[in-house]
Amino acid sequence: MAVKQSSSTVAKPDGLHVLQALSDPVRLEIVRQLAANGQCMCGQLVIPVAKSTGSHHLKTLSKAGITAEREEGTSKFLRLRHAELEERFPGLLESVLRA
Amino acid sequence: MAVKQSSSTVAKPDGLHVLQALSDPVRLEIVRQLAANGQCMCGQLVIPVAKSTGSHHLKTLSKAGITAEREEGTSKFLRLRHAELEERFPGLLESVLRA
């Protein structure tokens, strides 16, 4: 189980936005890396696009409620919101990861 | 169980294309109607867009392997490829339908 996050600060993942966010090869790759490695520092992700494009993709995933960010000092950590996604869309993430 | 379809004529649903096809509100609505009503004649679907746009959406769903068409005389029937999708992406369709 993932650590529960304060529900007041993050929106519930919305179905259509989740699908839209996942239906991009770069974002799907980010999701795969997060799923494989657990929590990552943003800089650890291998994203095969320009930095600004990568930032845009990370923002899209975060806005859709797929990822959550946490700052610790000067580092920014990223993780999948496994528990919240599983609660709203059981099986979706696992299906997507085998896509 | 859905009737097995000749696998030589239809492509296996591909993950990214399935997600891309599902991440549109009109196509999601078509999927919902097919899930609720089972097999439909194309004309029975209530698609809130122009006919040509509707045809484009139906084609996108079909090309992604989400729907299958069957002609009977002059009528065209449409159904979800439940079994094939469930086999490749267990839980995906159900998750999407509650999205």
Does residue B9 register a pLDDT over 80? Answer: no
Residue A18 contacts residue A65 (beta carbons within 8 Å): yes
ipTM for the predicted complex comes to 0.72
pLDDT of A6 reads 39
Euclidean distance between CA atoms B78 and B34, whole angstroms: 8
Euclidean distance between CA atoms B53 and A76, whole angstroms: 43
Euclidean distance between CA atoms B97 and B17, whole angstroms: 17
Q: List chain B residues with CB under 8 Å of A25.
A: 16
pLDDT digit string, tens, across residues B61-81: 999 999 999 999 988 899 999
Cβ separation A92–B96 shorter than 8 A: yes
pLDDT digit string, tens, across residues A46-91: 998 999 999 999 999 999 999 999 999 989 899 999 999 988 888 8
